[in-house]
Structure 1
Amino acid sequence: MELRFEIKQLQLKETFSIAYGNYNKREALLVELSYQNYKGYGECVAIDYYKINLSSFILKLKEIQSQIEVHRIIHPKDFFSFLLNLNLHPFLLSALDCAYWDLYGKLENKSFIELNNLPTENLVESSITISVGEIDHQIEKINKSGWNKFKVKCKGLNKGHVEKLLSLDDHIALDSNASFTDEDCSWLQENAEVEKFSYLEQPRPIDHYKILSKNSFANWMADEDCQNIDSLEELVPYYKSINIKLMKCGGLTPALGMIKKARELNYKIMIGCMTESSVGISAGCVLTGLVDFVDLDGANLIANDYATGSTVDNGKIILADKPGLGIHLK
């Protein structure tokens, strides 16, 4: 097996504004695993509020490259056990895990969905993100969009803006990226109208969730508070829903276990993304038959997608009818 990797620049179609800052581009680390002329791909991206440094990932990959390249081809879940012993950051672990699933499926001539016997009927539509901005401009974007579901970003709580969004006859979620206060959260979860929002994502900074109640009108959804399967039990009294992102939890292999555990704990589940190319989005798409919400608009937000695979067309998930994750570079 051969390991290759390179850093790519993802250019956004327009400035993406969230509570953490404004962004015109992202750096992505593309990972390629190849064997017998078959190639599998995975990806992770540099996110400043996660303190991700892709240069350190490159150094780590160079350090472990020989261990990976001498490894024989085994089942992906067994290969993931091998990866766990390499002391990898979850973002990098995810890129390698996804690349190996893609490669293994191509070698076996079976898709990830076939290999794991996953459902593909009646897939939930993805939302598209409306970045922070003037409320009337956000509403104009919603009204002009061909998508049916929207995640509206905000920085802090403006009750007038909330009322305007609630008056729309659309599937709208609210994501403050941890910019709400305890008082904001109390007002929201005691307001019956807030039930109209599909969900309210990560209202408070990490570990400041104890003001929240899952038995309120708000469908609170954990994002940064829910990093992996170990987070789930503690969050039960506070959150109704969780956002699983492959990079946070370490890839497709742990995501499957996380979904199973979340179902046992009666969570609603979303498959989410960051600003990613079709490499990362294709990996997320294969899990959409298992979840209640989907937010996989990342590749739709960039101008220079360098891969093909599963796609999201105005919110509709179109799965690649190819082995592995169906990923190919342009």
Structure 2
Amino acid sequence: MELRFELKQLQLKETFSIAYGNYNKREALLVELSYQNCKGYGECVAIDYYQINLQHFVLKLKEMQVQIEAQKIIHPKNFFQFLLNLNIHPFLLSALDCAYWDLFGKLENKSFIELNHLTAENLVESTITISVGEIGHQIEKINRSKWNKFKVKCKGLNKDHVEKLLSLSLDIALDSNASFTDENCIWLQENAEVKKFSYLEQPKPIDQYRILKKEGFANWMADEDCQNIDALEELIPYYKSVNIKLMKCGGLTPALEMIRKARELHYKIMIGCMTESSVGISAGCVLTGLVDYADLDGANLISNDYASGSFVENGKIILSPKPGLGIELK
């Protein structure tokens, strides 16, 4: 097996504004695993509020290269166990795990869906993200869009803005990226109108969720608070829903296990994304038959997508019929 990797830059179509800051580009690390004539691809991106340094990942890949290339072709779940022994950051672990699933499926001439006996029917629709901005501008973007589901970013709580969004009678979620106060959260979870929002994502900074009440009107969804399977039991009294992102939990292999566990604990589940190319989005798309919500618009937000595979068109998930994850570089 051969390992290759390359740093890429993803250009956003417009400035992406969230509570953490404003972004015009994202750095990405593309990972390629190849064997015979087949190539599998995975990806991770630099997110400042996760303190991700892709240069460190490049050094780690160089350090591990001989060990990875010496591996025989085995089942992806066994390959993942091998990767766990290498002490890899979850973001990089996800890129390698997804690349190997893509490669293995191409070698077996079977899709990830077939290999895992998953459904490719009745897939949930994805939201499109509406950046932080003046409320009139946000509503104008929503009204112009051909998508049916929206995730509206906010920085802090403006009750007038909440009322204006609710008056649209559309499928809207709120994502404050940890910018709500305790008082904001109490008001939201005690306000019956708030149950019209499909969910309210990551209201408070990491580990400050104890003000939240699962029994309230707000469908609180954990993002940064839910990094991996270990968080699920602890969050039960506070969150109704969890956002599972492949980079947070370490890839497709742990995501499957995390979805199973979250179902057992009666959570609503979303498969989410960062700003990613179609490499990362194709991996997320294959799990949309297992979840209640999807937020997989990452590749729709960039202007220089360097790959093709599964994709999202006006919210509809279109799965690639090709083997593995169906990823090809342009």
Does 1:143 pair with 2:162? no
RMSD after superposition: 0.3
Does 1:315 pair with 2:315? yes
**CA offset digits 1:230-255 (Å, max 9, x no partner):** 00000000000000000000000000
Q: For the residues of structure 2 that align with 1:109 and 1:84, how far apart are their CA atoms?
A: 26
Q: For the residues of structure 1 that align with 2:111 and 2:37, how far apart are their CA atoms?
A: 17
1:65-214, aligned counterparts within 5 Å?
Answer: 65-214=65-214
- Name the structure 1 match of 2:31: 31
- Name the structure 1 match of 2:303: 303
Q: For the residues of structure 1 that align with 2:278 and 2:137, how far apart are their CA atoms?
A: 28
Q: For the residues of structure 2 that align with 1:71 and 1:208, how far apart are their CA atoms?
A: 42
- Name the structure 2 match of 1:239: 239
- Name the structure 1 match of 2:47: 47
Give the gaps of 5 or more residues in structure 1: none
- Name the structure 2 match of 1:263: 263
**CA offset digits 1:185-241 (Å, max 9, x no partner):** 000000000000000000000000000011010000000000000000000000000
Does 1:252 pair with 2:252? yes
Q: For the residues of structure 2 that align with 1:226 and 1:199, how far apart are their CA atoms?
A: 15
User: Is the partner of 1:289 in helix, strand or coil?
Assistant: coil
Calculate the TM-score normalised by the size of structure 1: 1.00
AA of the residue aligned to 1:95: A
Q: For the residues of structure 2 that align with 1:234 and 1:255, how far apart are their CA atoms?
A: 18
Give the percent of matched residue pairs that are identical in Structure 1 and Structure 2: 85
Q: For the residues of structure 2 that align with 1:232 and 1:271, how far apart are their CA atoms?
A: 15
**CA offset digits 1:48-102 (Å, max 9, x no partner):** 0000000000000000000000100000000000000000000000000000000
Q: For the residues of structure 2 that align with 1:145 and 1:252, how far apart are their CA atoms?
A: 30
Q: For the residues of structure 2 that align with 1:169 and 1:146, how far apart are their CA atoms?
A: 16
**CA offset digits 1:106-151 (Å, max 9, x no partner):** 0000000000000111111000000000000000000000000000
Give the gaps of 5 or more residues in structure 2: none
Does 1:278 pair with 2:278? yes
Q: For the residues of structure 2 that align with 1:169 and 1:36, how far apart are their CA atoms?
A: 53
Q: For the residues of structure 2 that align with 1:165 and 1:146, how far apart are their CA atoms?
A: 17
1:287-298, aligned counterparts within 5 Å?
Answer: 287-298=287-298
1:211-222, aligned counterparts within 5 Å?
Answer: 211-222=211-222
Q: How many residues align?
A: 330
Q: For the residues of structure 2 that align with 1:226 and 1:166, how far apart are their CA atoms?
A: 27
Q: For the residues of structure 2 that align with 1:81 and 1:162, how far apart are their CA atoms?
A: 46
- Structure 1 residue 37 displacement after superposition: 1.1
- Structure 1 residue 169 displacement after superposition: 1.7
Q: For the residues of structure 2 that align with 1:317 and 1:198, how far apart are their CA atoms?
A: 19
Runs of 4+ in 1 over 2 A off after TM superposition: none
Q: For the residues of structure 2 that align with 1:20 and 1:210, how far apart are their CA atoms?
A: 22
Q: For the residues of structure 2 that align with 1:7 and 1:157, how far apart are their CA atoms?
A: 37
Q: For the residues of structure 1 that align with 2:209 and 2:3, how far apart are their CA atoms?
A: 41
Calculate the TM-score normalised by the size of structure 2: 1.00
